[in-house]
Amino acid sequence: MAREFQRGHKARISDLTAGRDLYVGVQIAGPGLTFDISCFGLDANERLSDDRYFIFFNQPKSPEEAIQQLGPQAGDTDSFRVTLDNVPPAIQKLSFTATIDGAGQMSQVGPGYLRIVAGGEEVARYSFTGSEFSTERAVMLGDFYLKDVWRFAAVGQGFDGGLEALLKNFGGEVAEEEPAPAPAQGATPGFAPPGQAAPAPGFAPPAGTPAPSAPPAPAPPAPQPAPAFGAPQGTPPQGMPPQGTPPPGTPHGTPPQGAQPPAPGTPQMHGAPTIAAPIAPPGQVPPPGQVPPPGQVPPPPPPGQFPGQQPPFGQQPGQAPPAPAPYGQPYPAQPYPGQPGQPAPYGQPHPMGGVPQGGGALGLQAALSKYREAPTGQRWTPQNSRLMRVDLGVGGQPVLARQGTMVLYQGKVDFSYKGAGFRGRIVGNATGQEMQLMRCTGQGQVFLAENAAELHPIELQGDAICVSAENVLAFDESLHHEVRRIEGHGIPGGALFTMQFQGTGTVVVKTEGTPVVLPVTPTTFADSNAIVAWSAGAQVIISSQVRLRRSAYPGHSGETVNLQFRGAPGNFIVVQPYEV
Amino acid sequence: MDQQMISGFAPAPVAARMENHGASMLKVAMQSGQDLFARTGSMVAYEGFVQYEPNPPAVRQMASQWLTGEGAPLMRCSGDGLLYLADYGANVVCINLNGDSLSVNGTNLLAFDAHLQWGVERVKGIAKFAGQGLFNVGVSGTGWVALTSRGTPIVVDCGRGEDETYVDPDALVAWSSGLKVKGKRSFKASSLIGRGSGEAYQLGFSGQGFVVVQPSEDSTDRLRARG
């Protein structure tokens, strides 16, 4: 279970996980905002003394690949891979930051998080929302820092300037002060290449640039047409040309990879920050680590000429293969088996130096303590995402629950049959929205769950909500409930029925999987099987795709009847990822 | 292949005999001489040299008491390497016993060290009503045990309230040995005419200890059902 961090919390990473190969995911979003997520590798004085450890969209990894930017995935706006054992000793701190690209301020940011995943399990999560910030344009989210051992700190500190100011704060240099032929537009960070024919950051080494000692190649190396790793997949700054499409007119051509004699046979997926950009000019390669002046139009290199200066982080095919990543762990995470020159340790027998017998907390109590019940004084308490505890003593009114959902109870609780009444029975039989309910009365705590479905308590304060009857787990008896009917052609059974709850109290809704809550807009549709609930203010319309002939044959879309919702702003619908 | 998407799922280095990989996979570091009993069919992957012996003689003797009378649903795993076990996506809880003793529902037992003391226990009355050949395994000693639970389990202390703790037998995962168990029927006459509350039978626990409960009443033994 992930450990929740608050702003200012710190912990040793070894306390969070035994893993040293960490995945750091950042989710941050706001309406109309784009973000640059970066990682600063700072020295002991908290300065960015080596620009190669400024990991951002144009430089997606550090020289020894201890820090790699992976781009958006798995729900994260951006993500990094940090191999702590490979971080050079000069780097004492890794600061993860998010900056707004373009106009905007941090207070507009919705709920986001920074999380650490190790061994397939999320071990730490620091959540934040925009309400913690004001007019800042950047935020330092969290730090990995070395103090005897590597530690993690949830920082959450806003920063007034953008990425450029942040970079200056860390002692980095922004090369924009140099006279540039094409000034960066507006709020674009200074080192973002302007959207001209030269999106090349100067420090990008040509993909597959041979080492100086290598024999000359007849053809100039080409950029990776489809950058698999190095491309800033996240939020490219404004003015950045689309990835993978070199600007027309740059005469570099795209010979296939195999046509490069000195290049290794396999594509260098991450040997160089493969930016979809023309080749950096030979001889004009700025010293590595220098952020290049924008707008410098590099002429295409003449064939056969090679830069005399080799950026140290480029791959050097003519030389010894890059040092194998010093994965000293018995089970290295080696995600790039295709990389030439690196041993693929998966096939090897592990150096099994004895099984550690200890590890972890000792004893029964320690192992189970994280699953302990969490009593609060409240009537409804979620124990975890799938188990609800209701304290009948609080509030003093009975609870109606679906039959058979009790998994445990303490105290004197009586379970009795709750009939729907005569009229209810008739309606129930006719509509299929009959619920087999039981009434829980007495004094004590009842734990409710069903089939490990996710549970969501919804507290009603005089308002109303419609819930599909299959998705109701339990509710306070004080709530008024009735069956509502939605008519329409094309629905199996002739009509759809839902339960409407109204009054003051709590309804517990269960969903298979994590649901999505959508605001009702003029174009909100939902599958009638997957819909869980909607606010009662929304009006439901059946929209059926009438394609009689198509549906008679195999191969139709299978989505024939949809529900469309209309309503004032503020209404919402809840949909589960499961079609009952 | 571009593997960056899955780079977060590489196994963490071994730190203990049993560890979770994610919520629902168990990783056991195997070494010769330290055998393991695991549910038959629970292996999903292994690295190294691990051998499996289904229905070993030691188990067969114990299993003769099992009500179902089928082959024992345990296998002995031995060798060197890394063993990954899972039970159809159920959550896995690994426990390092330190002289404690625990009674586990047979369906929810995933694996345990072979050197632990263990035995099949019959819970009074429970099999009769649950009708699913429920057996319980008592485990004690010093070593590792892994349990499964459909959904994140919850641990409830007994003896805290003045009254007993009642558990739905289908949702019960394990309890600390030493608790007093008794069945409780909440049949009423109304149940017979179709007006039952759906909660006909519970197990009441009293004494000092805890009960582990899963948030699901799905107690089907998937590993066995697969045959």
pLDDT, mean of residues A265-272 = 40
pLDDT at residue number B78: 92
Among chain A residues, the shortest Cα distance to B98 is held by: A363
B196 and A444 within 8 Å at the Cβ level: the answer is no
B76: contact with A, CB 8 A cutoff:
no
pLDDT at residue number A327: 39
**Domain of A93, in residue numbers:** 3-169
pLDDT bracket for residue A419 (50, 70, 90): low
Mean per-residue pLDDT over chain B, rounded: 80
| The two structure tokens encoding residue A302 | 């003449």
- Which residue carries 């609080």 as its tokens? A394
Torsion over CA of B36, B38, B44 and B45, rounded to 10 degrees? Answer: 10
Domain ranges of chain B: 15-217
Q: Are A28 and A109 in contact (CB under 8 A)?
A: yes
Q: Are B217 and B171 in contact (CB under 8 A)?
A: yes
pLDDT at residue number A489: 57
Which among A59, A53, A118 is positioned nearest to A88, based on CA atoms? A53
Q: Please give the Cα distance from B2 to B26 (Å, whole number).
A: 26
pLDDT, mean of residues B32-58 = 87
The dihedrals phi and psi of A481, each to the nearest 5 degrees, come to -130, 145
3-state secondary structure of B72: coil
Q: Are A80 and A69 in contact (CB under 8 A)?
A: yes
For residue A120, give the nearest of B9, B102, B155 by CB distance. B9
Which among A270, A539, A22 is positioned nearest to B7, based on CA atoms? A22
Q: Are B35 and B118 in contact (CB under 8 A)?
A: no
B197 and A387 within 8 Å at the Cβ level: the answer is no
* pLDDT tens-digit series, residues A469-481: 788 899 998 888 8
- Residues of chain B contacting residue A385, judged by C-beta atoms under 8 Å apart: 152
Between A553 and A407, name the one with better pLDDT: A407
Beta-strand runs (E) in A105-176: 112-118, 121-128, 138-147, 149-159
B15 and A356 within 8 Å at the Cβ level: the answer is yes
pLDDT at residue number A173: 65
B217 and A407 within 8 Å at the Cβ level: the answer is yes
Q: Residue by residue, what is the 3-state secondary structure of A427-478?
A: HHHHHCCCCCEEEEEEEEEEEECCCCCEEEEEEEEEEEEEECHHHEEEEECC
Q: Please give the Cα distance from B158 to B175 (Å, whole number).
A: 10
Q: What is the number of CB-based contacts under 8 A between chain A and chain B? A: 250
Whole-Å CA distances, B143 to B103, B111, B120, B146, B209 = 15, 11, 18, 10, 20
Q: Please give the Cα distance from A301 to A288 (Å, whole number).
A: 19
Which among A235, A143, A229 is positioned nearest to B1, based on CA atoms? A229
pLDDT at residue number B71: 47
For residue A81, give the nearest of B7, B156, B160 by CB distance. B7
* pLDDT tens-digit series, residues A385-411: 889 999 888 888 889 998 888 889 888
Q: Is residue A288 included in any domain, yes or no?
A: no
Q: Please give the Cα distance from B217 to B227 (Å, whole number).
A: 22
- Residues of chain A contacting residue B19, judged by C-beta atoms under 8 Å apart: 18, 119, 359-360
- Which CATH number covers residue A61? 2.60.60.30
Q: Is residue A374 included in any domain, yes or no?
A: no
Architecture of domain B15-217: 4-Layer Sandwich (3.60)
Question: Is residue A561's pLDDT more than 60?
Answer: yes
Lowest mean pLDDT among A105-114, A411-420, A457-466, B183-192: B183-192
Q: Enumerate residues 6+ apart whose C-beta is below 8 A from A504.
A: A460, A461, A462, A478, A479
Q: Please give the Cα distance from A260 to A258 (Å, whole number).
A: 5
pLDDT bracket for residue A326 (50, 70, 90): very low
Q: Is residue A529 included in any domain, yes or no?
A: yes
B29 and A371 within 8 Å at the Cβ level: the answer is no
For residue A356, give the nearest of B14, B23, B195 by CB distance. B14
Q: Which of residues 82-121 of B touch A (CB under 8 A)?
A: 82, 93-98, 100, 102
A333 and B155 within 8 Å at the Cβ level: the answer is no
Whole-Å CA distances, B131 to A479, B22, B134 = 37, 33, 7
Angle at B208 between CA B206 and CA B213, to 5 degrees: 70
pLDDT bracket for residue B29 (50, 70, 90): very high
For residue B217, give the nearest of A367, A369, A404 by CB distance. A404
Q: What is the CA radius of gyration of chain B?
A: 19
* pLDDT tens-digit series, residues B111-168: 999 999 988 776 665 544 444 445 678 899 999 999 999 999 999 888 665 678 888 8
Lowest mean pLDDT among A104-113, A121-130, A138-147, A186-195: A186-195
pLDDT, mean of residues A196-215 = 39
Lowest mean pLDDT among A42-56, A182-196, A510-524: A182-196
Angle at B110 between CA B203 and CA A347, to 5 degrees: 165
* pLDDT tens-digit series, residues A343-360: 334 434 444 445 666 555
For residue B23, give the nearest of A121, A416, A447 by CB distance. A121
Single-letter code of the amino acid located at A408: L
Which among A195, A161, A224, A190 is positioned nearest to A292, based on CA atoms? A190
pLDDT, mean of residues B72-85 = 88
pLDDT, mean of residues A358-380 = 76
Q: How many domains does chain A have?
A: 2
Q: Are A69 and A58 in contact (CB under 8 A)?
A: no
- Residues of chain B contacting residue A408, judged by C-beta atoms under 8 Å apart: 154, 156, 165-168, 171, 211, 213
- Which CATH number covers residue A447? 3.60.160.10
Between A230 and A385, name the one with better pLDDT: A385
